[in-house]
Amino acid sequence: MDKGMGDRGATTMMDRRQLLRSAAWMSGAIATGVGSWLIRPKWASAAGPIKVGIATDLTGAIGYAGNANANVAKMVVKDINNAGGILGRPLELFIEDTASNESIAVANVRKLIQRDKVDVVLGGITSSMRNAIKDVIVTRGKTLYIYPQLYEGRECTPYIFCTGPTPAQQCDEFIPWLMKNGGKRFALPSANYVWPHVLNEYARKIIEKGGGEVIFEEYYPLDQVEYSATVNKIMSNNVDVVFNTVIPPGVGPFFKQLSEAGFGKRGGRLACVYYDENTLNINAPYEIEGLASCLDYFRAMTKDDPVSAKIQAEYDKEFPGKILFAAGSAATGMYRGLKLWEVAVKEAGKLDRNAVAAALDHAKIADGPGGPAEIVPGKRHCKMKMYTAVAKNGNYEIVARSEGLVDPKEC
């Protein structure tokens, strides 16, 4: 045995086991960050300002969405202050970073409640974030909470109001449209977490009610980036519609592989209900040509809806750059939430939680992104108009609009 080859003597080389052992605790290393911002109004009143708390993901994986939420809040609060505030008092904006990380979020949201004593909290984007912070805000914090993102529904906790679309709003009109403009054989490839599971349950009901068929419903790890097996299943089973709930980073490679396999060329229809202007850039336009989405707002509607055009123009003027005003990342829900809350506080005439919640229960706004919105009494969810859009050469084109306001069918 030649000892010299294997013997490393006094070098600093580690063997594999040592490497393993020492690396094990490394994996526990978590990045932490602290961020709070306070935006004071330009004027004051004797009664002091009304405090609005925003808890959103300014940093981390979904920072692009969180920053859009914060921007919308700044814009709406500024508008309200310029118009004389609410009840003669200006709004003071407290923005807290939830950092796409639930444990950091809970500590930061506690600051909003305990240190800043805000009158209302808006924010949270993912369902896991909402679940992490809702107890801090509503139960222990005794504060009103408005959740702005499209989600799987079933959030029926008192004092939580949801202003984003629910599965019923995203499926009831969209899936029949897909059957007419795609076919009846559906595949439901999905990321393995709560939203796709619950949404698919609802979507399957609508598909089967309309005479369609679910060829397969399959769940993937959240960070899976290789989808050849799935693509093969879709192609060999002659699936007509891929109703996708795979999320980034997997969705880009998945759509690319589907396109390479010729799914679009043979007339297949891609559908994805969180797809907005942000996600449009994940793939080259030809890879997702014909992708259909159903949301409460698309930038494409600014052409024929003056209210949406005005809101979009104001946002673009104040926040030019990469952070977009888009429905899939809760920006429209944030706008709607703040405006509905403004209406409710004005009606209640005070900031007491019960009084505001009672007024919010039937609050309505005539002018929002995508059209009017109103809370369904007793349901704490929002009726709104829904739009179906199709990606054409890198932009959306609106192809269908709901007749009136669509019911969220929750709680």
Q: Which residues of the chain form contacts with another protein (CB under 8 A)? A: 5-6, 8-17, 19-20, 22-23, 26, 29, 31, 59, 61-64, 67, 192, 218-221, 223-226, 228-230, 232, 236, 248-249, 252-253, 256-257, 260-262, 278-279, 281-284, 287, 321-323
In the complex with another protein, the residue whose CB is nearer, 181 or 395, is: 395
CB of 123 to another protein, least distance (A): 17
In the complex with another protein, the residue whose CB is nearer, 1 or 83, is: 1
In the complex with another protein, the residue whose CB is nearer, 41 or 253, is: 253
Three-point CA angle 253, 256, 261, nearest 5°: 125
Spatial neighbors of 376 by CB under 8 A, at least 6 apart, are 382, 383, 407, 408
In the complex with another protein, the residue whose CB is nearer, 349 or 394, is: 394
In the complex with another protein, the residue whose CB is nearer, 58 or 122, is: 58
Structure tokens at 389: 């859009």
CB of 238 to another protein, least distance (A): 13
Distance CA 360, CA 340 (A): 7
Strand, helix or coil for residue 234: helix
Spatial neighbors of 255 by CB under 8 A, at least 6 apart, are 244, 270, 282, 283, 287, 288, 291
Q: Which of 308, 411, 338, 317 is nearest to 77 (CA)?
A: 338
In the complex with another protein, the residue whose CB is nearer, 234 or 382, is: 234
CB of 28 to another protein, least distance (A): 11
CB of 391 to another protein, least distance (A): 13
CB of 70 to another protein, least distance (A): 13
CB of 254 to another protein, least distance (A): 10
Backbone φ, ψ for residue 184 (5° rounding):
-105, -10
Q: At what angle do helices 63-82 and 306-318 cross, to 10 degrees?
A: 110
The overall longest dimension of the chain from CA atoms, in Å, is 90
